Chain A
Amino acid sequence: MFAARIELRIGSLDIDVAVDAADGETVALLGPNGAGKTTILRAIAGLLAIERGRIEVDGLVLDDPAAGVFVPTADRPIGLVFQDYLLFPRMSALDNVAFGLRARGMDKPAARAAAAGWLERFGLTGHAASRPRALSGGQSQRVALARALATSPRLLLLDEPLAALDAGTRVQVRTSLRRYLATFGGARILVTHDPVDAMVLADRVIVVEDGRVIQAGTVTDVARHPRSRYVADLVGVNLLHGTRAEPYLVRLASGAELVVADPLPGDEVVVAVRPQAVAVYRDRPDGSPRNVWPATVADVEVDRDRVRVQLEGPVPVVAEVTPGALAELELAPGTRVWAAVKAVELSVYTQ
Chain B
Amino acid sequence: MTRAADRAKARPPWALIPLAVLAAAFLVVPFLALLQRTPWTGLGDLIGRPVVVDALRLSLLSSLAATGAALVLGIPLAWLLARQRFPGRSVVRAMVLLPMVLPPVVGGAALLFAFGRRGLLGEPVYDQTGLLLPFSTAGVIVANTFVAMPFLIITVEAGLRSMDRRYEDAAATLGASAWTVFRRITVPMVAPSIVAGAVLCWARALGEFGATVTFAGNLQGRTQTMPLAVFLALESGDRQAAIALSLLLIVVSLAVMVPMRDRWLGV
Is A184 engaged at the interface, CB distance under 8 Å to the other chain? no
Residues of A within 8 A of B167 (CB): 86, 88
Partner of B173, one of A78, A88, A89: A78
Residues of A within 8 A of B171 (CB): 88, 99, 103
Is A281 engaged at the interface, CB distance under 8 Å to the other chain? no
Once A86-B167, A90-B188 are accepted as A-B contacts, the answer to whether A103 and B173 lie under 8 Å apart by CB is no
Q: How far is it, in angstroms, between the C-alpha of A88 and the C-alpha of B191 when the chains are bound?
A: 14
Residues of B within 8 A of A46 (CB): 172
Q: How far is it, in angstroms, between the C-alpha of A199 and the C-alpha of B164 when the chains are bound?
A: 32
Tell me if A103 and B176 are in contact (CB < 8 A). Answer: yes
Is A147 engaged at the interface, CB distance under 8 Å to the other chain? yes
Residues of A within 8 A of B169 (CB): 42, 45, 47, 73, 82, 86
Is B185 engaged at the interface, CB distance under 8 Å to the other chain? yes
Tell me if B173 and A148 are in contact (CB < 8 A). Answer: yes
Tell me if A74 and B177 are in contact (CB < 8 A). Answer: yes
Q: How far is it, in angstroms, between the C-alpha of A79 and the C-alpha of B176 when the chains are bound?
A: 12
Once A88-B185, A103-B180 are accepted as A-B contacts, the answer to whether A147 and B172 lie under 8 Å apart by CB is no
Partner of A82, one of B166, B188, B189: B166
Once A82-B170, A99-B174 are accepted as A-B contacts, the answer to whether A90 and B180 lie under 8 Å apart by CB is no
Chain B proximity mask over A268-289: 1 for CB below 8 Å, otherwise 0: 0000000000000000000000
Residues of B within 8 A of A76 (CB): 173
Q: How far is it, in angstroms, between the C-alpha of A74 and the C-alpha of B169 when the chains are bound?
A: 9
Once A47-B172, A74-B172 are accepted as A-B contacts, the answer to whether A103 and B166 lie under 8 Å apart by CB is no
Q: How large is the interface on B (under 10, 10 to 19, 20 to 34, 35 or more residues)?
A: 10 to 19
Tell me if A151 and B174 are in contact (CB < 8 A). Answer: yes
Q: How large is the interface on A (under 10, 10 to 19, 20 to 34, 35 or more residues)?
A: 20 to 34
Is B87 engaged at the interface, CB distance under 8 Å to the other chain? no
Q: How far is it, in angstroms, between the C-alpha of A42 and the C-alpha of B173 when the chains are bound?
A: 10
Residues of B209-247 whose CB lies within 8 A of A: none
Residues of B within 8 A of A74 (CB): 172-177
Q: How far is it, in angstroms, between the C-alpha of A45 and the C-alpha of B177 when the chains are bound?
A: 15
Which of B170, B176, B184, B185 has its CB near the most chain A CB atoms (within 10 A)?
B170
Residues of B within 8 A of A100 (CB): 174-176
Residues of B within 8 A of A99 (CB): 171, 174, 176, 184
Q: How far is it, in angstroms, between the C-alpha of A146 and the C-alpha of B169 when the chains are bound?
A: 17
Is A121 engaged at the interface, CB distance under 8 Å to the other chain? no
Residues of B within 8 A of A229 (CB): none
Tell me if A103 and B188 are in contact (CB < 8 A). Answer: no
Within the complex, what minimum Cβ distance (angstroms) separates A157 from chain B? Answer: 8
Q: How far is it, in angstroms, between the C-alpha of A74 and the C-alpha of B176 when the chains are bound?
A: 6
Q: How far is it, in angstroms, between the C-alpha of A104 and the C-alpha of B171 when the chains are bound?
A: 11
Q: How far is it, in angstroms, between the C-alpha of A6 and the C-alpha of B63 when the chains are bound?
A: 54
Is A297 engaged at the interface, CB distance under 8 Å to the other chain? no
The closest CB in chain A to the CB of B180 belongs to A103
Is A80 engaged at the interface, CB distance under 8 Å to the other chain? yes
Chain B proximity mask over A233-265: 1 for CB below 8 Å, otherwise 0: 000000000000000000000000000000000
Residues of B150-191 whose CB lies within 8 A of A: 164, 166-167, 169-177, 180, 184-185, 188-189
Residues of B within 8 A of A80 (CB): 170, 173
Tell me if B173 and A45 are in contact (CB < 8 A). Answer: yes
Could you show 28 A-B contacts with beta carbons less than 8 Å apart? A42-B169, A45-B173, A46-B172, A47-B169, A47-B172, A72-B172, A73-B172, A74-B174, A74-B175, A74-B177, A75-B175, A79-B174, A82-B166, A86-B164, A86-B166, A86-B170, A88-B167, A88-B171, A88-B185, A88-B188, A90-B188, A99-B176, A99-B184, A100-B176, A103-B174, A103-B180, A147-B174, A151-B174
Q: What residues make up the interface of B, taking CB atoms closer than 8 Å to A? A: 164, 166-167, 169-177, 180, 184-185, 188-189
